[in-house]
Structures are given as structure tokens and as C-alpha cells.
Chain A
Amino acid sequence: MSGLKEEPRIGVFVCRCGNNIGGVVDVSGIVEYAKTLPNVVHAEENSYTCSSEGLSRIKEAIVRQSLNRVVVASCTPRTHEPLFRAICEEAGLNRYLLEMANIREHCSWVHIHEPEKATETAKEIVRMAVAKVRFLEPLKEPEIEITPSALIIGAGVSGLTAALSLSEQGFDVYVVEKEAEAGGLLTNFHTLFPSGQDASDFIESIIEAVKGRRNITLLASTVVREVRGYLGNFEVVAQQINQREVRLKVGVMIVATGAVPLESKGLYGYGEFEDVVTQLGFEQLLKGGLPENLEKIVMIQCAGAREEKGVTYCSRICCNVALKNALYVKEKKPDIDIYILYRDIEAYGRGYVDYYQKAQERGVKFIRYTMEKPPSVTEGQNGKPRVEVFSPTIGREIDIKCDLVVLSTSLIQHQAGRDLSQTLKVALGSDNFFLEAHPKLRPVEFAQEGIFLCGTAHGPKDVAESMTQALAAASKASIPMAKGTVKTEAVKAVVDEELCVGCGACVAVCPYSAIEWLSFGQPKVVEASCMGCGLCAAECPMGAMQLRHYRDDQIVPMVDSLFESKRATVLGEEPSVVCFACRWCAYAAADTAGVMRLQYPCSVRLILIPCSGRVDAVHILTAFARGAEGVMVAGCLRDGCHYIDGNIKAERRVDAMKKALEVMGIEGERVEMFFISAGMPDRFVESVISFTDKISKLPRLRRASQEGGASSV
């Protein structure tokens, strides 16, 4: 059971947010309404609750009124929750005894033309927040000890740069490399751009530096096989080429596994004709000196990249590499004919536009082609390649008989990288490169704490960018090690021994293997590994496994409260829809919809959960039992769930619910699963509108009494 032992004393602070909220809803009316809710002993309005004045008013009220729960009815928790939590803590109240009611992004901004309905909607949202806060409990953020050593996976330029940085800061570093030699891609490169420095010399000097450091251990021909544990205490088992096992205990890990160029047999004759090579192949060729009888070279850009399916992205560096190589060749032998067939030239960054101009000046011929009509490479007479390309600029085919075709293929993720993502249980993006926690706020780390990311493992980038990212990753990785101990999120899974029956369903469903299954069936949550998704709680058939702060007995009262009083007449027409939205995507999309002032009907009430996989039969059935006409379960896009595949689990549960509902006489279509990414506010709005529309066409579900309360189903 949750909740404090003492009577809840709830303070509700309703924000005008200047005119953002106040301009649409009747804020004073909401304050008066809040006062009527049970356990609310204080309610007030503020112009800007997040201002220092607003914050100190909260602090004062907590102290003066002995508040032990706080509801801030204002903007989205995704922006200011940390701020309000901090002020609660300053006032002596545990930071987890705060709940926010989103009456801006989810109310005043999206129901601008219906102020009466918006006001009633806001009241319902506040009522739901008050219901939840009543049952919140104080939580302590667990502290974990950090082993001051790091594991870096991959000894290319990124991995080694990170290693040097961490070593300089005094930490022990282990670098594990699957090849026999360190260096990665650069060992095979010819020169770097724009400096023209020799690539192998460059990487050699870095390798020398690494070897010279006493606190870096470089393990070549070694592959990471198994990883257990959590931030501060990772247990790694790696396997060496002679089958020997190496066991390491580290505090943090950095993924720097790099990428490989696409080598696709049949792509423009690659693997079929001798004289078709990749840029990397060309670089290796050039290392041995420019071959003698080269008269004509054709370079094809975007080879196997920027396609509709497969590699859809731009590989970023290939244009610069092609220009670099073309210029080098021209310098050595000015009368070699070089053609560069391109779709777009991406010459970004310092000095690269000059590169491009220089290349044109030196006589490198640029021919544009389109994706619809790519060039073709066939075997010409005398066995040399023949390239035909349609140039839309001049409107006809160009036929080039050449000595060598160089394909600028994209960098792609390699199998070892894919395997590693399974071993570490970290996410890959839809382009198959490793997915960072957040592109702006957390660009060099994974969602899991303690694992960082840099280099081309994250996506194609040049050497300078890779090294910069490596330094950033090392810097972030050093923080927990430097601190010695770290506080982690308090939102963790917890098991009620009395209800548990030892079935192990939670153990199996946890995407992070954060639950140990003891000898006689007891599940033990390893808090430091727990990511707080709640899939275990949703799976547990007995309701024994719960997610702190998102317990069933904290979520269900929100649903209850929505239907516990008679609906305001003005809202009577709108079908009542409950939407469980995941914090990372769907809820964020709803927020953005608010920011963009997209308008939608006042039918839906959002309930914030960490992952759509947290939602299960309890919540859906309760919603219908209490009076909901429809339930939406909204999570991330199919292969973009931040908890790996919580959304797929949610979809399966929704499917099972549909069938159970049909047997109960409720249309299965009243519950639906939605996949919405944070960047899709329009999809969120469309989903709400079309779902509400569909629900309103169905006959109203029976209600036991018009006064509200449980309806019999």
C-alpha cells in the first residue's frame, strides 16, 4: 500500500502563465473548484508559478500550511517538473510528493475556441492530479558506488581518443578491440582531409600514445560476449581469439565500435568487374602509390546511399573524401581525367567549399544524376569499365569509357555492432547505428546510465567530429567516476512479497534483465539496472510487481476520479476518452501539439506513464468499468521504443483486451494502440480526432447511475 500514514494535506497551485492559460480558462474558477476536492487544504493562483516569486509562494505555503502534497496545475511536467521538485525539497517536502496537472499544452493551448469546455477539462485534469498525489509516497534516490575504471569497446580513432582522455584524468581504462591490430578504419586510409596528413601516421601516433600510458590496457583480438550489472558495477566477460576468457569489472563503458563501408556485390558492378572499387579500396590503392596506367577515373557518389529502402541516409563524409582523392590524383598527374557523378555535393565545414571549388578549377568534371536514373556500369571493350549516365542538365546520356570506377559507398553498421547492441541491451536507431538518449540533451550517452557512445558507431562522421564526440563521451563518462557515488532515479520496480507467487513473468519481460530469479521463485529487483519502464508491473498477473510513482494504486485513482462526479453539462457531448501516453514520445507529441496550437476536441484526458508497456488490463478495464467510452494507449513508433520494445508488448495487450471486451459485450474497437513519435504532433492530433469520432458513432455504454460511480459491465 502506498501513501503516507498521515492525512494528506494537498496544496494546489494554479498558474495563469501570463495569458497562456489565463486567457482561455477561468483560473479563479479552477482554484475555487480545487478547494472543494477532498484533502485540498490550500489553493491559489499565480501569474507565473515558475518565476522566483511563484516558487517562493509554493515554499511558503508548504511551510505555513503544513502541506504534505503539492499539485502544480500549469505547463507540461517535461519542462519544469525538476524545478518544482527542487522547491518542494527546499521546503522540506520529499521531491516525489509533487504532481503536475498539464492544463496548458493539453488544455488551454488546444481548446482555444472553447473556453467553457476548456475550463471544465482543466478541472478534470486537476482532479486527476489531486487523486494521484493523494497516493504518492516519499521516495529515496538510491546511491550507488562507482568503480573508477572504464571499458572502451573499439580501438579506432574515437575509442583511443576517449581512452587517452580518461587516462589523463587518472582512471583505469580497458580498451577491447576485435581485430588483431588497433586503429580501426584509419589504418587503411591514405590521407586525411583537409590537411592531407598521412592517415596511418596519424593513427599510429595515437596508438603509440595509448601504449605509453600505464593505466590503459589494450586487449586486441578480444570480443565482448556478456555484460551484467549496472552503472558503477558492470561485470564484463570478453573472449579472446584463443578462446581465453577475460573478466573485467568497470564503472562505465563507452561504445566506439565504428562502422564499415558498404560493400554490395553487384552495386555498379562491384565484385563483378575488377576495376570497380570503393573509396576505401581506392585509398588503399593510393597508399601504394598512384598506379601507372590510370587515364580516366569515374567516381560515383551516393552509391547505395540515400535510397528509398535500405540505406536511406546520407553518409556525410563521402563527398569530402571523393574531393580529397580527386584533388590528390590531379596534383600527382594533372592530365588524368576525373569525373565525379553526384546527386548533391555535401561539402560542409571549414575549408571544404574551397576544396570543391579547387577541384572544379583543377578540371575535375562534375556530372549530376538523379535517383530515378542512376548511372550504369558495364564491361566495355578491352575489359575496362564503361559508365553511362543520364545528365538532366544537358538532357542526354553521357558515355564514359574509363580505367577505374570508384564508388563512394555509405558507412553502415556492422554485424559486430548489431551483436553488441543485443549484449548491452542498447537501442539501435532505424538506420541501425546506435541510438543516443536524446540528440540535444544527451547526445553521447544511451538511455541506460553508465554507457556512452562516440564515433561512427553513432553514425557517419569525419575524424574531427569523431574525436570531438569521443572527448565529449569521455568527459561525461568521467563524471560518475569522479563523483565516486551517484544518485539514480527513484522510479524503480518493487515487489510485494505477499502478493507474489514466484511465476517469473516479470523476470522474463524485463528488457534490461534487471530482475534476478532466486532459487525458489522470488524475484529480486536489481535497482541500479532497473530503468523504470514498468513492463514487469504490467506483466505481473497478481499485481505484486509495481513501479514506484506509477503504481496501480496511483494510476487507477486517476481514472476513478475522472468519473467520480457527474460530468459538467457543457462537456456532455464529448465522449470520454482516456489516453495513456508514454513520456518519451506520445506525451511529448501531445505537448508539441499544444505548442503549435493544434486544436482538437475536449474528449481526451492524458495519463502520463514512462512507457506504453506499463499499461495493462487493470487500467483499461477500470477505465471502461468507471465510465470511459474509449481508451487510447499511445507509445513510441514501432522500432523506436526507448525501452526497446515496450510498445510492442503494449500492442499485444491491447489485442488481448479487445477480444476480452468483445466477450463482455463491449466493442473491441473502443481500445486502440497508437504509435506516435515525439516529432509527430500532427499524428497525435489526428489520432485523437479520428478516435473520438469513431467512439462517438458507437452507442453510448450503459452507466449504472447518472451521478457517476462504477457502472456495471
Chain B
Amino acid sequence: MIKKSMEMPKQRVEERIRNFNEVALGYSEDQAVMEASRCLQCPKPLCVAGCPVEVDIPSFVRDIKERRFDEAIGKVREKNSLPAITGRVCPQEEQCQKTCVMGKTGEPISIGRLERFVADHELQRGVKVPPKPRPNGRGVAVVGSGPAGLTAAADLAKLGYEVTVFEALHEAGGVLMYGIPEFRLPKRIVQSEVDYVKNLGVTVKTDSLIGKLYTVEELFEKGFEAVFIGTGAGLPSFLGVPRENLCGVYSANEFLIRVNLMRAYRFPEYDTPVWVGRKVAVIGAGNVAMDSARCALRLGAEEVWIVYRRSRQEAPARLEEMENAEEEGVKFKFLTNPIGFLGDKYGWVCGMECISMRLGEPDESGRRRPIPIEGSEFTMDVDTVVVAVGQSPNPMISRTTKGLQTTRWGSVVVEEGTGKTSIEGVYAGGDIVSGAATVISAMGSGKNAARAIHEYLSNKKVR
């Protein structure tokens, strides 16, 4: 029994901070086989329950061990339509790997790395075009081509529905394209996963903002019999402190959209610019903040600081991402909260006023509440700020769809387990329901909604 997991080969720090290439290089075949061999093949596997989409983990791991890579990826794809993505971005340490029995005495099986391995292996050799299911002539509209939408679309297509995905941006993938940087999730991987979904017969229409181009009502008028809303939590939150509109202060969304989706790191080859000065402060400590900080480093910042109002223990980012960031030279200022910005006479940010915090009693989220320490104000020298303090559900659909019930934070109210909304035939899943969460949980809700839509349409008379 090997207690330690096979290490993931990574780009060397000095090199990787100068490029946007993927940091984690992936297992070789031998490394994957060795890691897969560690699996005990438990008769009552605990890992599967930890997976939001219920991938048959022991089977695919055994297939890897026996070098049956095609079978392995086939097994994965039964439940998971985006394995190359989830293998990279799932917080496996909170999910399948957390419940893995090996974790009790040593390190759990690196299920995520194995899933990535088989998915990449398949991509290299060419993804097999899946057999096109027999169409049943009934149309379903999916709004949003992020993980929730793509999963719902794929599952519905596999059941024979004619699915059209409406995407507001010019490239499909949602947060996978614009939010997660190239060095964590290469865009060609997202492209191939989207292509796979398209090959199942799904039509993807970009440049289509539902709510404006067509309302949800109009979709029904066009002949769709059900609509799945997976529009995500793309509304950026700002701090609400003075002078937040100075030049050089970005929301993390804008920063990442410019860098990832619009490839601003290749300006002037690509036309969209982004500004990164010498001293960058990223407010927040979630994955989005880590991504922003690591992008800023690669864009030439001399110093990048994560500024977070709670302590390291409370930071919501994946440990792996924080470690990567720290390795790359990102610095951390915990228990610090910005209270305002200072600008130079040209209207550019040149400083950030902060106050030190201490932790008090826990609040509703269970995390200890940060309390400002009176008199501890100080100024940080910065010329770029990225505000990564959270995203909320995009209000476009709720504003334009009569009768859609939402919470006061803007998320769509749904029935648990099915994603059914207050309007008949309309379902929702992903961040638009839960607020900003993980890719895999969005996929899970997409799965559930597809199942529920199928049930609904099977019982409904065909028009």
C-alpha cells in the first residue's frame, strides 16, 4: 500500500510566471497507471457518493490500471460530459478524494488527476464522435453555455431532444472561458469539450442574450417546449468604498474577461488591452482572487498582494491554488480591509487606504466575523486594484421574465433536486440558483434539471 500519491508535474516557477501556459503538466501514462494501482477497489466505494455527478470512479480507475484508457474515459463520460475540465478544476479534496478510504492512513487516490489524464489522453488521440441519438423532434432551449447549461444540453441531447444553447458572449463555455485562466484551464480544452456537446446534436448560438434578443416567453413562442436557465452568477460585486471608480480599479470579472476571454495578455496581437501596473492589490481570497493575482503576476506586476479581511484559515480558495499563488510570489495581507482609494491628479489609483481587522464571533455563514480595529488605518501603495469579493446572480433573466420567482439576492427560486421554477416548463440550475459555487455542482444541477425536464416533457402531451 503506497501511502503517498503520485506528484503532479508542474512548470517551474521561474518559467511559469512569464507565460500563460498550463501550470500542471499532467501525468504520463506510467505515472497514471502507478497512481491507479494504489486504489484498493473498495467493495463499498465511498468516493462515488462524494461525486456530485456520481461518476463510477472505481471502474474507471481500474481501467486505467489495466491500461484500458478508452474504456476508462467511456465510463467517465457516462456521467460526466466535461471530464477534461472537472479533472482540472473540481475541488476533489472536498469531494471524491475527501471520502476516499486511503485518505485515512495516507494520501487519497488522486482521482482528479486520473480523470484529467484519461480525458487528455482521449483528446490527444481524437475524441470519438458519440453516436447521435434518435431525435424525438421536441425542442428544449438552454440559456447559458457554462457548465450547468452544457451538461443539461448534453444530457437532454442524449435523450433525443433537439437542444439549442443560447450564449450571450461570442464564445461558448461561460465561466470556463472567461473566468478560469489559461494556465489553469486551457481554452482549447474547453473548446473540445464544447465540440463534444455539439457533436451530440446540440446547436450553440452565440451572441444571443436571452432577455433582450428573445425573452423566455418568446422562446416558447418559437416552439421550444422547455427552457433551462443556466445564466450563472456573473454580476460583479464592488466594495462600495470611496473612489472605487478610479482608473486602474477593476472588478475581477472585467479583469479576467479581458485577460482570459479576450486574450489581453497577447496585446497588441489581440486588440483588447488590460492595464497592470507595478503594484497590484487583489481584494478577496477565493479562487477568483487567486486567479486574478496569478494573472497580474504574469502580466508583469512587480508585486501582487492578496488583501483579505479574514485570516488565512477562513480563505475560501482551494489550498492548491493558494499554494500555487504563493510559490509564484504572490504576497498575502490577511486581516486587512480596504476603506477607500487614493487617486493621482490624472484620475488613476495610486494608493489604497486600509484598516486592520480582528476576528470576532462567527456570523451566519459560520465563519468568524471580521471586526475593524479602531485607529489602525494605514495606506498601501498600489497602482492597480482587482476587486474579487464575490459575484451574484445575473439579473437579466429575472428582470425580463414575468412571473419568475427570485430571492432578494436575485437567485432563481427552484424546487430542490429538479430545478423547477415558478413558471411551468422553466427550469434553472447552477450559479443562478446557488450563487457563486463550483463547476461540478453546476453540472450536477444541470443533470438533475435535464432529468426533471425529461420527466415533465414525457408526461406532457406533444403539441
Interface residues of A (CB under 8 A from B): 508-509, 655, 658-660, 663-664, 668
Contact = CB atoms under 8 A, between A and B. Distances in A.
A93 to B, nearest CB: 41
Contacts of B278: 655
A668 B346 CA distance: 26
Contact of A660 (B267, B277, B299, B346): B267
Contacts, number: 18
Nearest to A644: B345
Contacts of B269: 663-664
A508 B266 CA distance: 28
Nearest to B276: A659
A668 B18 CA distance: 12
Contact of B299 (A508, A509, A659): A659
A663 B271 CA distance: 12
A508 B299 CA distance: 27
B121 to A, nearest CB: 32
B248 to A, nearest CB: 11
B43 interface: no
A165 to B, nearest CB: 35
A658 B269 CA distance: 14
A593 to B, nearest CB: 30
Nearest to A660: B268
A660 B268 CA distance: 6
A663 B268 contact: yes
Contact of A663 (B267, B277, B346): B267
A663 B266 contact: yes
Smallest CB-CB A-B distances: 9 pairs: A660-B268, A663-B269, A663-B266, A659-B300, A663-B268, A663-B267, A660-B267, A508-B346, A659-B299
Contacts of A658: 300
A663 B266 CA distance: 6
Contacts of B268: 660, 663-664
Given A659-B267, A660-B268, A663-B268, 15 more contacts: A508-B346, A509-B346, A655-B277, A655-B278, A655-B300, A658-B300, A659-B299, A659-B300, A660-B267, A663-B266, A663-B267, A663-B269, A664-B268, A664-B269, A668-B300
A664 B270 CA distance: 11
A655 B266 CA distance: 15
Contacts of B267: 659-660, 663
A556 B402 CA distance: 62
Contacts of B277: 655
Contacts of A659: 267, 299-300
Nearest to A649: B346
18 contacts: A508-B346, A509-B346, A655-B277, A655-B278, A655-B300, A658-B300, A659-B267, A659-B299, A659-B300, A660-B267, A660-B268, A663-B266, A663-B267, A663-B268, A663-B269, A664-B268, A664-B269, A668-B300
Contacts of A664: 268-269
A508 B348 CA distance: 12
Contacts of A660: 267-268
A613 to B, nearest CB: 12
Interface in B265-299: 266-269, 277-278, 299
Q: Which one of A659, A660, A664, A668 has the highest number of Cβ atoms from chain B below 10 Å of its Cβ?
A: A659
A446 B174 CA distance: 58
Contacts of A663: 266-269
Interface in B228-284: 266-269, 277-278
A660 B266 CA distance: 8
A659 B267 CA distance: 8
A668 B268 CA distance: 14
A196 B346 CA distance: 51
Nearest to A509: B346
A658 B278 CA distance: 13
Interface residues on B, range: under 10
Main secondary structure of the interface of B (DSSP, over half): loop
B188 to A, nearest CB: 19
Nearest to A617: B268
Nearest to B278: A655
Nearest to B270: A663
A145 B335 CA distance: 62
Nearest to A648: B344
A34 B295 CA distance: 53
A664 B268 CA distance: 8
A509 B266 CA distance: 27
Contacts of A509: 346
Interface in B312-346: 346
Q: Which one of B266, B269, B346 has the highest number of Cβ atoms from chain A below 10 Å of its Cβ?
A: B346
A22 B299 CA distance: 51
A660 B346 CA distance: 23
Contacts of A655: 277-278, 300
A647 to B, nearest CB: 14
A655 B383 CA distance: 13
Nearest to A658: B300
Interface in B12-28: none
A181 to B, nearest CB: 34
Nearest to A662: B300
A659 B266 CA distance: 9
A508 B300 CA distance: 27
A153 B264 CA distance: 51
A655 B277 CA distance: 8
A660 B274 CA distance: 11
A541 to B, nearest CB: 12
Nearest to B346: A508
A660 B276 CA distance: 13
Contacts of B300: 655, 658-659, 668
A661 to B, nearest CB: 10
A591 to B, nearest CB: 32
Nearest to B269: A663
B277 to A, nearest CB: 8
Interface in B43-101: none
Nearest to A422: B345
A668 B299 CA distance: 12
A655 B273 CA distance: 14
A509 B300 CA distance: 25
A126 to B, nearest CB: 35
A657 to B, nearest CB: 11
Nearest to B277: A655
B286 to A, nearest CB: 27
Interface string B300-320: 100000000000000000000
A660 B269 CA distance: 9
B292 to A, nearest CB: 17
A432 B267 CA distance: 41
A668 B302 CA distance: 14
Contacts of B299: 659
A676 B183 CA distance: 40
A354 B299 CA distance: 66
Nearest to B275: A656
B368 to A, nearest CB: 38
A668 B267 CA distance: 14
A624 to B, nearest CB: 14
Nearest to B268: A660
A330 B204 CA distance: 98
A658 B268 CA distance: 12
A535 to B, nearest CB: 11
A660 B278 CA distance: 16
A659 B275 CA distance: 10
Interface string B346-357: 100000000000
A155 B67 CA distance: 93
A548 to B, nearest CB: 25
A663 B269 CA distance: 7
A584 B277 CA distance: 28
A655 B299 CA distance: 11
B246 to A, nearest CB: 14
B43 to A, nearest CB: 56
A427 to B, nearest CB: 14
